[in-house]
Amino acid sequence: MTPLLAAAQVAVFGLCPKLALLVGYVVQVIRQMAVPDFADARRAGDRPAMRRILRRAVTLPAAALADLAVVVAGAAGAVLASYAAWIFGTAATLRRLGEMRTGLIALLSGRRMVPAGA
């Protein structure tokens, strides 16, 4: 995959299955803990207990996944902030030096690009 994608894009493919496994593990553990209680409540015919157990089996994974989403969003925000800081820092340095050696920055600023050998 590396010849087709940049290293950062390949990293996303590596991270996504790991996050999916983590989410699946949390959901499966919580549901497996609810199964014996649900079976006992069903055998006893206790409908309110069955509803309470099912509600807990749905809300606990949702709460755990919401926490995980906050952590992932925070990490993604930190990565994006670091890239933005790097890009703007590079642009500020190039502007201070008065040289435009990066074609995109030269294009965006409207300045003429200086050849690398000059």
DSSP symbol at 101: -
Residue 2 lies inside a defined structural domain of this protein: no
φ, ψ of residue 100 to 5 degrees: the values are -115, 90
The pTM for the full model equals 0.47
Q: Give which of 24, 27, 46, 25 is closest to 37, Cα–Cα.
A: 46
- For range 15-23, the mean pLDDT: 79
DSSP symbol at 71: H
Residue 14 lies inside a defined structural domain of this protein: yes
- Total domains, the chain: 1
Residue 84 lies inside a defined structural domain of this protein: yes
- Of the chain, the percentage scoring pLDDT greater than 70 comes to 75
What is the domain extent for residue 103?
7-109
**Residue 44: pLDDT over 90:** yes
Torsion sign, CA atoms 88, 7, 13, 64: negative
Residue 115 lies inside a defined structural domain of this protein: no
Query: Which residues have CB under 8 Å from 34's CB, separation 6+?
Result: 53, 54, 56, 57
